[in-house]
């Protein structure tokens, strides 16, 4: 039986945590317009992460599929959603759209220069201004208590720690390597550790740094950066991130 109501289906790449971060502003913007008519298609292994990440969108419907395969999607679109015309599909999935943005990804862009905001005529600023995540400290109480008991909260956070000079790792009682502690199923829980540390060591080539940059640019998480020492290591002529705070220390010295 097909759904006959005027709903809005949402689908975008969900292969990495960067995909989640990059599209969060877009998903929230769509929800702000369509509310309870928003149906978000996600793979089952990301259900806990995304439901927690977006849990303030109380009227959002999640369509859970085993995987975002062509066959799984066609079953949905030829089944209960066959009469739904509003398909807000992005990236590799826009070939299933029914509007003027159908096949934009394939014909005009590629995975290297993919930008869902400019490609589909959204205001680029909502990538940041509409970004928000949800976490609860009691979920990570055991982790925080463990760190506090061992190091009295004296720890530094590293992203891509293998690419950061050793001298910066010697100054902390505990060095926490985010990429080794968290994965795509629990990534946003790391925000608790971000709040508690006084030192962040980032590179401009990893997902955790994209998360930190997005949090800062959103303007919604200023408390996370109070009295924070942020070191950003980069390889190119300049960091890939723009409009960085003057207080961040930029270091062109990533080891090979």
Q: Does the pTM exceed 0.85?
A: yes
Is pLDDT of 1 > 70?
no
Report yes or no on 75 lying in a domain: yes
Classified as helix, coil or strand, 40 is strand
List the CATH number of the domain containing 214. Answer: 3.40.50
The whole-number pLDDT of residue 3 equals 54
Residues 15 and 115 in one domain: yes
Classified as helix, coil or strand, 62 is strand
Is pLDDT of 146 > 80?
no
Report yes or no on 246 lying in a domain: yes
Residue 81 token pair: 């959603």
Contact 176, 155 (CB under 8 A): yes
Higher per-residue confidence, 57 vs 164: 57
Average pLDDT over residues 246-255: 83
Residues 28 and 125 in one domain: yes
Residue 131 CA to residue 101 CA, distance in Å, equals 24
**Residue 199 domain boundaries:** 138-251
Residues 103 and 32 in one domain: yes
Is pLDDT of 172 > 90?
no
Average pLDDT over residues 79-83: 92
Is pLDDT of 171 > 90?
no
Is pLDDT of 219 > 90?
yes
Residues 29 and 95 in one domain: yes
Is pLDDT of 32 > 80?
yes
pLDDT digits (tens, 9 = 90+) for 34-64: 999 999 999 999 999 999 999 999 999 999 9
> In 3D, which of 196, 182, 194 has the Cα closest to residue 153?
196
The separation between CA 2 and the C-alpha centre of its own chain, rounded to angstroms, equals 32
Residues 121 and 186 in one domain: no
Give me the sign of the Cα torsion angle 92, 98, 103, 104.
negative
Highest mean pLDDT among 14-23, 127-136, 227-236: 14-23
Give me the sign of the Cα torsion angle 106, 110, 116, 118.
negative
Average confidence score pLDDT of the chain? 88
pLDDT digits (tens, 9 = 90+) for 87-139: 999 999 999 999 999 999 998 887 778 999 999 999 999 999 999 998 765 55
User: Of 10-19, 50-59, 130-139, 235-244, which range is least confident?
Assistant: 130-139
The whole-number pLDDT of residue 191 equals 86
User: Of 95-104, 170-179, 215-224, which range is least confident?
Assistant: 170-179
Q: In whole angstroms, how large is the CA radius of gyration of the chain?
A: 20
Residue 251 CA to residue 238 CA, distance in Å, equals 9
Is pLDDT of 249 > 60?
yes
Report yes or no on 233 lying in a domain: yes
Is pLDDT of 240 > 60?
yes
Domain termination residue (choose one: 129, 160, 194): 129
Counting residues of the chain whose pLDDT is more than 70, the rounded percentage is 89
Domain termination residue (choose one: 86, 101, 129): 129
The whole-number pLDDT of residue 193 equals 85
Domain termination residue (choose one: 88, 109, 129): 129
Residues 195 and 100 in one domain: no
The whole-number pLDDT of residue 201 equals 93
Q: Considering its fold, how many domains does the chain have in total?
A: 2
């Amino acid at each position: 039986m097909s759904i006959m109501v005027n709903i809005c289906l949402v689908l975008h790449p969900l292969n990495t945590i960067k995909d989640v971060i990059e599209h969060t502003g877009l998903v929230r913007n769509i929800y702000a317009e369509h509310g309870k008519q928003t149906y978000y298609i996600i793979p089952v292994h990301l259900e806990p992460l995304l439901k927690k990440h977006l849990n303030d969108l109380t009227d959002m419907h999640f369509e859970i599929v085993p995987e975002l395969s062509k066959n799984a999607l066609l079953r949905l679109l030829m089944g209960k959603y066959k009469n739904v015309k509003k398909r807000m599909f992005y990236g590799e999935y826009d070939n299933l759209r029914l509007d003027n943005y159908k096949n934009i990804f394939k014909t005009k862009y590629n995975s290297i220069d993919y930008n869902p905001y400019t490609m589909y005529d959204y205001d680029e600023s909502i990538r940041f201004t509409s970004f928000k995540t949800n976490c609860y400290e009691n979920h990570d109480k055991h982790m925080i208590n463990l760190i506090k008991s061992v190091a009295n909260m004296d720890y530094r956070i590293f992203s891509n720690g293998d690419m950061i000079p050793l001298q910066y790792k010697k100054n902390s009682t505990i060095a926490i390597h985010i990429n080794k502690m968290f994965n795509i199923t629990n990534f946003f829980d790391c925000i608790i550790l971000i709040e508690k540390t006084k030192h962040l060591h980032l590179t401009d080539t990893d997902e955790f740094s994209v998360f930190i940059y997005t949090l800062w640019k959103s303007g919604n998480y200023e408390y996370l950066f109070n009295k924070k020492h942020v070191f950003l290591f980069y390889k190119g002529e300049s960091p890939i991130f723009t409009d960085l705070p003057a207080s961040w220390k930029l270091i062109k010295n990533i080891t090979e």
